[in-house]
Amino acid sequence: MMDKEKLRKTDFFSGIIILLFGAWIVRQAFKMPMKDSWGGVQNVWFVSPALFPLFVGFVIMLLGAILSRTAWKTVGREEIGKVMRWLLSKGNVEFLTSAPTLRYYAIVTLFLSLVYLNVPRIDFFLGSFLFLFVFITMFYFDDDGILKKLFFYYLVGVVVFIVYFSAGIDSLLDKVVPYAGDLLALCFILSYCFYAWGLVRNDLTLRKKYRNGMIIALATPFIVLPIFKYFLLVPMPYEGLVVSFLDKVWYLDF
């Protein structure tokens, strides 16, 4: 358990973050109309939808400021200054690039890319396989060097997908090539599989782990998808290349 002094040092910076978050809420609330005309009726400011988020934002800012002020009074300027110097020191850089921190980056990147990038835009089967296989190969191998290489390889793929979808390239290519986004995802999956194999092919133990990871990553969506889609009649979040093919197989629509 952290002692009170360390907690107060953390509270100082947490309070600043909370204050900034409250300021962001206030800024977004000011974008809402304070008064407007609807059907010829003029609405007054005190029924504006912006009032509640404005109130919440200002309260969060106040609480954040109080938290930082309390921490400042408890530990003093000198201790806060030590923390600031450490944040700008080489020791903090080493901490941010250490293996435990890298694992944290990898987990956060995997889940964020799954929820906000893959699930809404990539075929459910392909997105699920990609998430499972990347997760397994990063952590099941239990090798920090391999984890780092696989993480940065996956990160490059995430950046490519973000550019691909945010620039609207998917809409343009879909008019020419059906399931263009899924084909891109399939190419990335294959390249990742070959890259991971190249890292472990000379190690018998890691090769076995690679094979087990491949089986699990393939079997899981292959079992889950038909159960939910064809037996429970639950549509997948995004039905693309593989799901459409399975539909044709299930309904004999050739």
**Structure confidence by residue, pLDDT tens digits, 22-78:** 898 888 888 776 665 554 545 555 556 677 788 888 899 998 888 888 877 777 666
Instruction: Give me the pLDDT at residue 6, please.
Output: 65
User: Where exactly are the structural domains of the chain?
Assistant: 4-89, 99-251
pTM for the model: 0.72
The pLDDT of residue 173 is 85
Instruction: List the beta bridge partners of residue 37.
Output: 42
CA–CA dist 245, 77 (Å, integer) = 65
Closest among 198, 220, 206 to 133, alpha carbons compared: 220
Q: Retrieve residue 92's tokens.
A: 């903090």
Class of residue 83 by CB neighbours under 10 A (exposed 0-12, middle 13-18, buried 19+): middle
Taking only the tens of pLDDT, the chain with its 254 residues reads 445 666 677 777 788 889 998 898 888 888 776 665 554 545 555 556 677 788 888 899 998 888 888 877 777 666 677 767 766 777 767 767 777 888 888 999 999 999 898 888 999 999 999 999 999 999 999 888 899 999 999 999 999 999 999 988 888 888 888 888 899 999 999 999 999 999 999 999 999 999 999 999 999 998 988 888 888 888 888 888 888 888 888 877 65
Give the three-state DSSP class for 42.
Answer: strand
